[in-house]
């Protein structure tokens, strides 16, 4: 729930700054995270369809947020790696692979890159002069 609220606030922040692409990315992230939250009540196996949709939206959001040079290069690269891993995971699930949200190596390999991206976004917001 905190990620939905944070991404909604970031949508407003970047929209007000006139950075529509980044704002749209954070709005897409809100949609993806909301879809993931909706599937949580169904249990691990039953949540797979909403997981595929949510992580696909995450991937799109990460690419859209990272396309402009708003954030540092390392953050943009971690976002692109996470997006790629989530898209591959979603594709494998859609093609019938028996993956759960907690499966390793995929989709679990995408989470560390997502967290690094989050850390970068937080660092950007908290550093002096912002």
80-122 confidence digits (pLDDT tens): 999 999 999 999 999 999 999 989 999 999 999 999 999 999 9
Q: What is the pTM of this model?
A: 0.92
Helices (H), 20-72: 20-40, 48-66
Average pLDDT, the chain: 95
First to last CA, the chain: 25
Question: Does residue 129 carry a pLDDT above 80?
Answer: no
- CB proximity list for 68: less than 8 A, separation 6 or greater: 19, 21, 22
Asked whether the CA dihedral 103, 120, 37, 96 is positive or negative, the reply is negative
Tell me the average pLDDT across 11-18.
Answer: 96
Alpha-carbon dihedral 79, 65, 2, 84, rounded to 10 degrees: -30
% the chain with pLDDT above 70: 98
């Amino acid at each position: 729930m905190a990620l939905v609220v944070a991404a909604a606030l970031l949508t407003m922040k970047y929209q007000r700054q006139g950075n529509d692409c980044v704002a749209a990315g954070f709005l897409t992230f809100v949609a993806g995270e909301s879809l993931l939250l909706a599937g949580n009540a169904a249990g691990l196996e039953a949540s797979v369809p909403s997981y595929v949709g949510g992580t696909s939206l995450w991937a799109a959001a990460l690419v859209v947020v990272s396309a402009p040079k708003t954030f540092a290069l390392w953050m943009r690269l971690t976002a692109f790696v996470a997006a790629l891993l989530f898209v591959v995971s979603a594709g494998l699930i859609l093609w019938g692979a028996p993956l759960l949200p907690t499966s390793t190596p995929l989709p679990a390999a995408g989470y560390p890159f997502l967290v690094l991206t989050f850390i970068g976004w937080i660092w950007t917001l908290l550093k002096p002069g912002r």
